[in-house]
Structure 1
Amino acid sequence: MTVDPQIAAMLANAPEFPTAGSIPVDVLRKAVRDSSTAIPGPNVPIAAVEDRTIPGPGGELPIRLYTPVGTGPFPIVVYFHGGGWVVGDLDTQDMIARGLCAGSESIVVSVDYRLAPENPFPAAIEDAWAATQWAYANAREIGGDPERMGVAGDSAGGSLAAVSAIFARDAGAPALRAQVLFYGACNYPSVETPSAKEYANGPILRREDTMYFWSQYLTDPEREQHDFRASPLRAESHAGLAPAFVGTAECDPSRDDAENYGQKLKDAGVEVDVQRYKGMIHGFVSWVGFLPGAQQAMADANTFLKRQFAK
């Protein structure tokens, strides 16, 4: 399997990123933030962007509201950024939130959930679910429609979206219309998959990085890996969950785990659209501003969202 030529050229001209565990967490966060915010975002129309704080389980929880052009009430997508539950913030994946807002014509609520190791599992999912409930309760006030809601996330954020969908089903509300999961493994890597073996050394995400992030997120991996809030693939039932779009990268160690989650949903009778993007690597959707493969993935996800919201 060959990495997309445009990505290969980018990587060839960039210094190798240090392994996640080889530098202090604050240095890692700054490096990720600096590299992420230097990436050009998509040139798409957005009517308004507003930073707020809402009540969260650990105190004030920062969110960012993206409102599309047009006349509401709009559908609402609650979005969770990637970063291994250790790095990332409202700015590092601003480009993905903008792409979802404009393309699906939805209000996007981007959530700055608490990060590990300072706030280990289950802090991130507690914040994710609190933000989802807040969006539902305050939908009208922000110009949204509480009956047309979805969740979305990339990488670690994809797992948070998947768990939030399980919580929503079990709580009976909000009745989510969709979940968009970009390369979210949704499972602790206790079994080495073929893609994990093939791409153990990356590009971008290495097995060493993956295990580091999990070690920071879980305080007791042997026990907590079986908790569906950490590994939604291991939930007792996936029946009745919101329709799912699962987008994976061909050259990604987490590819098989993400696709296995899509299959798990299908087996439970959930409507699922699984798309694997040829030559793409972990994190590729962040390059939606200039990379054709990322633009296609974003377009596919937005088409899926609009179809579900129209039902």
Structure 2
Amino acid sequence: MNPIEEMRQSYRDMIPLAGVGDEVESVRDISIEANSPARKITLRIYTPKQEAPQANLPIFLFMHGGGFISGDLDTHDVLLRGICNGAKCVVVSVDYRLAPEHPFPAGLEDVYAALLWTSDHAAELGGDKTRIVIGGDSAGGNLAASLALLARDRKGPQLQGQWLMYPTVSNRMDTESWVKLGDEHFPTRELNSVMISSYIAEGTSIDDPLAAPLWAELSNLPPALVQAGGIDPLSDECRQYAQKLEKSGNEASFLFYPKHEHGFIQFYKDEENFPGAKPAFEQGLSWLREVFSRKAR
């Protein structure tokens, strides 16, 4: 297999390692229409277990990781079931188009279309359009950060927050953590180069602010939680992003987990091999519940 096929297969092979997903009230896949170009986007909708059904639940719109070239609705199912019940929110997971078949900005435009649809149909989902938080891990964290920029610049739906799990926010691979960790720790410099070259089509700058939001103008964005592990080549750019968000006048928190590698929160149920993942997951949930409890921005 070529590196892209290997990445896709390895991600699918990791699904059992995430454990058994929690029982939620309902899970359903739906297909929505989008234009320019005309296409269909699959969304997976989770509703939480509740003592009594409630309307106007908050909504968490999630973009999965996988280096822009892999991952799908199933790879993150266990994580999202936990978030759905843990935050008592409707979760909408987006099956966006992947590179290299669909390079930047195809995936980003898919998640923006999903945001518009979610806002317009929130009541049908039992959700509250004034309490939408976006989030994602790794490449999905990149898409979430870029989605916040698009929603601001296109005067789209007002967002309540953004939960960014070890997002890739710079394509330069020039930080100290990349120098120290990039040869041996996932995602290695070699693998990350494949992902970037697959996602960023020829003729597009790797510093395009919607592909590398660290280089964007970051004022007037929703509150952010950024999490990263200490054995992750991306850790320095994650820290820099949180710092730049705060310096640009936004509310931003950075939580650092020194003993963990990239992608660890997804495996929060495996406390033996990822002992810090469950606390990191629960800290994210606590932040999410607190943001949901606020009045709409």
The alignment's TM-score, normalised by the length of structure 1, stands at: 0.88
The residue matched to 1:96 in structure 2 has which SS? Answer: helix
Q: Which amino acid aligns with 1:225?
A: I
Q: 2:233 aligns with which of 243, 253, 259?
A: 253
Cα 1:89–1:196, aligned 2, differ >3 Å: closer, same or farther? same
The residue matched to 1:301 in structure 2 has which SS? Answer: helix
Matched, 1:32 2:1: no
Matched, 1:164 2:143: no
Q: 2:196 aligns with which of 214, 227, 236?
A: 214
The residue matched to 1:69 in structure 2 has which SS? Answer: coil
Q: 2:213 aligns with which of 225, 232, 235?
A: 232
The residue matched to 1:111 in structure 2 has which SS? Answer: strand
CA distance in 2, matches of 1:42, 1:278: 27
Q: Which amino acid aligns with 1:250?
A: G
Asked whether the 8 Å contact 1:104–1:305 carries over to 2, the reply is: yes
- Runs of 5+ consecutive residues of structure 1 not aligned to the other structure: 1-21
Partner of 2:105: 122
For residues 184-232 of structure 1, the C-alpha deviation after alignment (integer angstroms, 9 at most, x for no partner) is 021112x5111101111333321111111001111127x4222211011
Matched, 1:270 2:250: yes
Asked whether the 8 Å contact 1:185–1:255 carries over to 2, the reply is: no
Q: Which amino acid aligns with 2:232?
A: D
Question: Bigger CA drift: 280-289 or 90-99?
Answer: 90-99
Q: Which amino acid aligns with 1:60?
A: K
Partner of 2:31: 53
Asked whether the 8 Å contact 1:99–1:298 carries over to 2, the reply is: no
Matched, 1:200 2:182: yes
CA distance in 1, matches of 2:207, 2:185: 28
Asked whether the 8 Å contact 1:195–1:252 carries over to 2, the reply is: yes
> RCO (CA 8 Å, sep 6+): is it higher in 1 or 2?
1
Aligned identity (percent) is 37
- Runs of 5+ consecutive residues of structure 2 not aligned to the other structure: none
Greater than 6 Å deviation, 4+ residue runs: none
CA distance in 2, matches of 1:288, 1:254: 20
Q: Which amino acid aligns with 1:147?
A: T
1:8-23 to structure 2, matched below 5 A, reads: 23=2
Partner of 2:66: 83
Q: Which amino acid aligns with 2:175?
A: T
Partner of 2:49: 69
Cα 1:27–1:67, aligned 2, differ >3 Å: closer, same or farther? same
The residue matched to 1:132 in structure 2 has which SS? Answer: helix
Matched, 1:299 2:289: no
Matched, 1:100 2:88: no
Q: Which amino acid aligns with 2:123?
A: R
CA distance in 2, matches of 1:307, 1:77: 13
Partner of 1:17: none
The residue matched to 2:185 in structure 1 has which SS? Answer: coil
The residue matched to 2:284 in structure 1 has which SS? Answer: helix
Question: Bigger CA drift: 201-210 or 269-278?
Answer: 201-210
CA distance in 1, matches of 2:238, 2:134: 16
Partner of 1:186: 169
Aligned residues: 286
For residues 162-205 of structure 1, the C-alpha deviation after alignment (integer angstroms, 9 at most, x for no partner) is 0111112223331111100000021112x511110111133332
CA distance in 1, matches of 2:232, 2:134: 23
